[in-house]
């Protein structure tokens, strides 16, 4: 590695050491600089990912692809898609049309995956009124908010169950594609098409995995809000003002309002 020094102290030191080095066997200046605080040497970052061969996908191809820096995720996606486009050009007209449709679908899945990887959206909740005392109307409003959040919780739970079911089916499809892929002759059109399908199936699986994780985060937010509302309802129920109703009558009124 060529070392170029711009630090004024080291420039002076370099001149002295250059004169003395032959007789003293001193270390190169670059080696000395590495041990001096405030003087940093840089090297180009090592690139460890390269586009996989669609006809020879290794078991670790996806791990290598997804493990790269987040900042270059879009670039790796474009390179992968472009490599599939180039490889599909060797196919006959009919197979090429099939490949183009698959690649178009793959591009859409990558776009959805990029959005999903950006994280779950923050749940928006109505403000929970915090007061020393509550009217009956305030209490019923808290009950209404609690019911709305419980419905939201049920919907997210259902989405999680559906996503998990999809993951099971997609895993089976991936296993089936892998068997067909291994059985196809290397460099054959079938192998190329199956390779594209394997990549697509893996991206689709990753998309649902990421969506499931995002849904779990949303569910946790909703559950925390429900706990907060339950605590506030308990407090409000015990601090009602301007009513001659008993607590039992208040609960019945709340139940009637929700029916």
DSSP string, 199-223: HHHHHHHHHHHHHHHHHHHHHHHHH
Which phi and psi (to 5°) does residue 250 adopt?
Answer: -65, -45
> Are 54 and 84 in contact, with CB atoms under 8 Å apart?
yes
> Are 213 and 118 in contact, with CB atoms under 8 Å apart?
no
DSSP class of residue 70? G
pTM of the model: 0.73
Q: Determine the Cα–Cα distance for residues 81 and 177; give it in Å rounded to an integer.
A: 19
pLDDT digits (tens, 9 = 90+) for 52-74: 999 999 999 999 998 878 778 88
Q: What is the pLDDT of residue 244?
A: 55
Q: Determine the Cα–Cα distance for residues 96 and 219; give it in Å rounded to an integer.
A: 43
The list of the chain residues with pLDDT below 50 reads 1-10, 12-47
Q: What is the pLDDT of residue 127?
A: 84
Q: What is the pLDDT of residue 248?
A: 65
């Amino acid at each position: 590695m060529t070392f170029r020094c711009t630090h004024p102290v080291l420039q002076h030191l370099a001149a002295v050491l250059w004169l003395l080095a032959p007789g003293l066997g001193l270390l190169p200046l670059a080696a000395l600089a590495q041990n001096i605080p405030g003087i940093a040497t840089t090297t180009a970052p090592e690139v460890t990912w390269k586009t996989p061969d669609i006809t020879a996908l290794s078991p670790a191809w996806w791990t290598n692809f997804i493990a790269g820096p987040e900042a270059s995720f879009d670039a790796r996606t474009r390179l992968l898609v472009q490599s599939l486009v180039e490889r599909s050009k060797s196919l006959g007209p009919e197979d090429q049309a099939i490949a183009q449709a698959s690649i178009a679908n793959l591009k859409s899945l990558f776009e959805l995956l990029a959005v999903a990887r950006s994280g779950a959206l923050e749940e928006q909740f109505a403000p929970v009124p915090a007061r020393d005392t509550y009217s009956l109307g305030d209490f019923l409003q808290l009950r209404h908010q609690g019911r709305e959040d419980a419905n939201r919780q049920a919907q997210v739970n259902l989405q999680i169950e559906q996503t998990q079911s999809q993951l099971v089916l997609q895993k089976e499809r991936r296993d089936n594609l892998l068997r067909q892929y291994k059985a196809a002759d290397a460099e054959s059109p079938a192998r190329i098409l199956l390779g594209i399908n394997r990549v697509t199936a893996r991206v689709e699986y990753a998309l649902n995995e990421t969506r499931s994780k995002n849904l779990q985060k949303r569910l946790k937010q909703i559950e925390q809000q429900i706990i907060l509302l339950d605590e506030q309802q308990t407090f409000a129920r015990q601090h009602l003002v301007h009513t001659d109703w008993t607590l039992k009558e208040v609960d019945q009124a709340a139940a009637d309002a929700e029916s």
